[in-house]
Structure 1
Amino acid sequence: MPACSTMEEIVFSPELTVPDTWVLQNLADDIQRHKEIKGASKIDRDEGYSSANSNAKEAVNRPSTTEYGISAERDASDICRLTNLNDPKSNDFEPTVISSLDLPDLQAKLPTVVYKHVVLPYVAWAQTIVRHETDVLMLTHLILYFTTSLPSAVWLFYRFTYLHGVFHFAMQFWFLGTYTLMMHQHIHMRGILSKASPILRLVDKLFPYITDPLMGHTWNTYYYHHVKHHHIEGNGPDDLSSTIRYQRDELLHFLHYVGRFLVLIWLDLPLYFLRTGRTANAIKAAFWELSNYTAIYTLFRLNSRATTFAFLLPLLLMRIGLMVGNWGQHAFVDADEPDSDFRSSVTLIDVPSNRYCYNDGYHTSHHLNPLRHWREHPVAFLRQKETYATEKALVFHNIDYLMITVRLLMKDYLTLAKCLVPIGDQMDLTLEERAEMLRRHTRRFSEEEIREKFPPRGKSKSK
């Protein structure tokens, strides 16, 4: 991945989604406007005063522009455009059909006859199958998985070859991220297919029991860990995937973090539910995790090689990937308010997270409202942009969670600072000051700090 540029040269990748391009341009305009206002309001040191005829007073006092360079008119226009893009009643509405291309690009690349007589009828039909009219993509992917991953895995058990095994694992490696974030939507929204049909409701409930193990997930563990645990604890001290007890730029700390999850999550999660008085969740989490292990063990006894490539390697890769991603999502924690969603998670405006993984880069927005539909994250971000600025949230571009983790372990804060899109007071920091700010946010919390910053539920923080 190329190194990020300075903020004067924000990278607008041609692969960004249309909403991400609009959001990033909006932030770039804020930065430029802030620089102009700040420059215009400075006193001319040679003359000892600023000209009464200059634009300084007009720029500073302009009622629609805040001290952060935010233009109310610009934001209202962008919010309207993003809202229309998601509104099936609007003429500007666009469903997402495939990951790699937006609908207008798909139309431009395909022959007119194919687009008119294949794509459009498919979109119209798919919108009757999926829960949200925007989410044609999810049906596209379900069809893809059931016509590639499933028959490939079955054939591995029927007639195994190492070449096929390697090919199958490589294919799953390509699918894992997108599939996981589709299931992320599934577990938060209680499904992705239409509720109108009893058959579709049944399919919606059952298909994960087939596809999850093929993609490295054990039955229902993602739901119990992510929805019933992680979003309850929010990277706090009782979160089993919390980063606060680790120095987030140290390799040994990272290896301990990943290793504990790999080895002990099957036990840690049920024990967590028991400690918090949720016995039913403890039993369910343990049952589904152990029953999936039993099924994999049984298959391993029948065909060890096929099981290794079809189930064990994807499981290992997925568990490592989940922890690498979570480390990047929650690596920067502001010691002043570590329990704030704005200050313990980040926003990424990038290609891998948002184009291919259902806007997973908008992690702060997701923690603020876990039930928010994935297509709503960009517009929600713009609606709350000034709050993000005042709350000192972190926004990055041209870098994904994996590379954030890599750069942290390299202690390469300068590259991370170059990837930061400064908002609010961050605009007045030099590149080196931004790098130092990021370094401070990766510091390990002592147990004394944790007791002070994260009081027991129902108690306020000590002054």
Structure 2
Amino acid sequence: MDAPIHPQLLQPDLIVLKNLLRDIQSSTKSDSQIGIEKTSDHDDQSSMRALDELRNEPTVFTNWDLKDLPAGKSFRAGILRVYIPWAQGIVRNSVDVVFLTHVFLYLGTSVPSAAFLYYRFTWVHAIFHVLMQLSYCGSFTLMLHNHIHNNGLLKKDYAWFDHTWPYILEPLMGHTWDSYYYHHVKHHHVESNGPDDLSSTIRYQRDELSHFLMYVGRFIAFIWIELPLYFLRKNKPALALKASVSEMVSYLFIYWLARTSFHPTLFVLIIPLFLMRIGLMVGNYGQHALVDDVDPASDFRSSITLIDVPSNRHCFNDGWHTSHHLNPLRHWKDHPRAFLKAKKEYTNGRALVFQNIDYLMMTYRILCKDYLYLANCVVPIGDQIGMSKQELADMLRTKTKRFSEEEIQEKFYKGRKTQREAKKKDDLYISKM
């Protein structure tokens, strides 16, 4: 692995990465060559202790770790000394101060900006508004992701606020009301990129641009009807009705505003909607483009782990996607520790770990068929250690192959190869570390 270690990695990411690099060094050097490997530096026990020490450290901002925040008697340090304990009394988990920070950030910038566009529209303001929302969309979506998986982020005393801010902010960020919850929690995690997942990648040749465009286009054009029909097929009429109503009400709201004030609505609601839906599919494509051709129903082999900066620092550890699929209720800060604790299972499951690449770049490099670039980002584990760059590239290429309907029947439905049984085989799916 030749990729450099990014200086802005979160501390838990850095601990796990150095632990994996130690494994690689230990596997590729003889006893006489091993130096640091004979010490306890970055071994499993010391790495786990280091992660435990960081476990209860609150996150206040995505850009800075707690150790980087102002200290002493400065004005900013004084504000933080008041704000952090106050915010910890509001958020459900004391380490999640950052969520309240972001809610205040969006309510204090996106909402006034959108309102002013309706009051006095200018093209310059409209363009800068869209750029601002674009910079927010990743962090907001993954904050919303934590919200929908855990039925809120704040303590029960603040439930009224916890269930209000999403309805204010979702349309401004490009989400229709509640659609992310119905699609992601009630659908995607149930099907887990399998044949019945409407956002599944398995029926597409994942390194072909034409297939990628069909994948994104289908979602944008038809998800409004396909998701309710999916719930009807699964004998869940209540969910079908809720998903349909929430989507239609959102569209009618946008249509009504566009009829009265088209230009503000175009920049405040319509453009963010299209950008968000494209972004969601590009991201999901990168998360599930590399699918094992032998055991595609396994969560270890149908998703990936990224030890990177954008996905983890700014999007609440979204890079630990395999860990999230193994246990969707796992707290976002527990993913690195859960990975290290289950390193043997990841190794036996032939999971894929990457460094220094995010999902957008993953999608781009796959579409470019630049497998050597991707191989250079692989952090090899298990049998992958010792493979040449070309061998890694060839291995990754096999994981973008389209599955025929016959292969889908064989690998997902026949015998023990059902998704449900594959999840039972993945012991970590129900673990709560």
1:306 counterpart (260, 264, 267): 264
- Identity of counterpart residues, as a percentage? 56
Unaligned runs of 5+ in 2: 419-433
Q: Which sits farther off after the overlay, 369-378 or 114-123? A: 114-123
What does residue 14 of structure 1 align with? 7
* Cα shift readout 1:11-32 (whole Å, capped 9, x = no counterpart): 2111111111111111111111
Moved over 2 A (4+): 69-73, 459-462
AA of the residue aligned to 1:228? K
Conserved 8 A contact 1:16-1:350: yes
* Cα shift readout 1:114-141 (whole Å, capped 9, x = no counterpart): 3541112110100011111111101110
* Cα shift readout 1:373-426 (whole Å, capped 9, x = no counterpart): 000001011001111111100000000000000001110000000000000000
2:243 counterpart (277, 281, 285): 285
Shift of 1:73: 8.0
What does residue 142 of structure 1 align with? 103
What does residue 349 of structure 1 align with? 307
* Cα shift readout 1:161-218 (whole Å, capped 9, x = no counterpart): 11110010000000000000000000001001112x1xx1011111111100000000
2:169 is paired with a residue whose SS is: helix
User: How many angstroms apart in 1 are the aligned matches of 2:186 and 2:103?
Assistant: 25
* Cα shift readout 1:213-236 (whole Å, capped 9, x = no counterpart): 000000000000000000000000
AA of the residue aligned to 2:114? A
Matches within 5 A, 1:277-426: 277-426=235-384
Shift of 1:460: 2.9
* Cα shift readout 1:25-46 (whole Å, capped 9, x = no counterpart): 111111111111xx45xxxxxx
What does residue 431 of structure 2 align with? none
User: How many angstroms apart in 1 are the aligned matches of 2:182 and 2:197?
Assistant: 13
AA of the residue aligned to 1:156? L
AA of the residue aligned to 2:44? D
User: How many angstroms apart in 1 are the aligned matches of 2:377 and 2:412?
Assistant: 30
AA of the residue aligned to 2:100? L
Q: Which sits farther off after the overlay, 249-258 or 71-80? A: 71-80
CA gap of 1:387–1:72, structure 2 versus 1, over 3 A, is: farther
User: How many angstroms apart in 1 are the aligned matches of 2:159 and 2:233?
Assistant: 34
What does residue 84 of structure 1 align with? 53
1:253 counterpart (203, 211, 218): 211
AA of the residue aligned to 1:460? R
What does residue 226 of structure 1 align with? 184
Shift of 1:306: 0.2
AA of the residue aligned to 2:154? L
User: How many angstroms apart in 2 are the aligned matches of 1:72 and 1:85?
Assistant: 17
2:305 is paired with a residue whose SS is: strand
User: How many angstroms apart in 1 are the aligned matches of 2:77 and 2:274?
Assistant: 43
AA of the residue aligned to 1:188? H
What does residue 160 of structure 1 align with? 121
User: How many angstroms apart in 2 are the aligned matches of 1:164 and 1:296?
Assistant: 20
Structure 1 residue 34 corresponds to structure 2 residue 27: yes
CA gap of 1:280–1:70, structure 2 versus 1, over 3 A, is: farther
Matches within 5 A, 1:199-278: 200-278=158-236
CA gap of 1:392–1:72, structure 2 versus 1, over 3 A, is: farther
AA of the residue aligned to 1:254? F
What does residue 101 of structure 1 align with? 64
Conserved 8 A contact 1:30-1:71: no
Unaligned runs of 5+ in 1: 1-6, 41-54, 60-64, 88-93
1:160 is paired with a residue whose SS is: coil
What does residue 89 of structure 2 align with? 128
AA of the residue aligned to 1:141? H
Structure 1 residue 170 corresponds to structure 2 residue 170: no
Q: Which sits farther off after the overlay, 316-325 or 13-22? A: 13-22
CA RMSD of aligned residues (A): 1.8
User: How many angstroms apart in 2 are the aligned matches of 1:70 and 1:341?
Assistant: 34
AA of the residue aligned to 2:341? R
User: How many angstroms apart in 1 are the aligned matches of 2:255 and 2:183?
Assistant: 23
1:114 counterpart (72, 75, 81): 75
User: How many angstroms apart in 2 are the aligned matches of 1:18 and 1:33?
Assistant: 22
User: How many angstroms apart in 1 are the aligned matches of 2:50 and 2:41?
Assistant: 14
User: How many angstroms apart in 2 are the aligned matches of 1:95 and 1:22?
Assistant: 18
Shift of 1:432: 0.3
User: How many angstroms apart in 1 are the aligned matches of 2:417 and 2:222?
Assistant: 32
User: How many angstroms apart in 2 are the aligned matches of 1:71 and 1:289?
Assistant: 54
User: How many angstroms apart in 2 are the aligned matches of 1:122 and 1:30?
Assistant: 41
* Cα shift readout 1:420-447 (whole Å, capped 9, x = no counterpart): 0000000021110000000000000000
Work out the number of aligned pairs and report it: 416
Shift of 1:354: 0.1
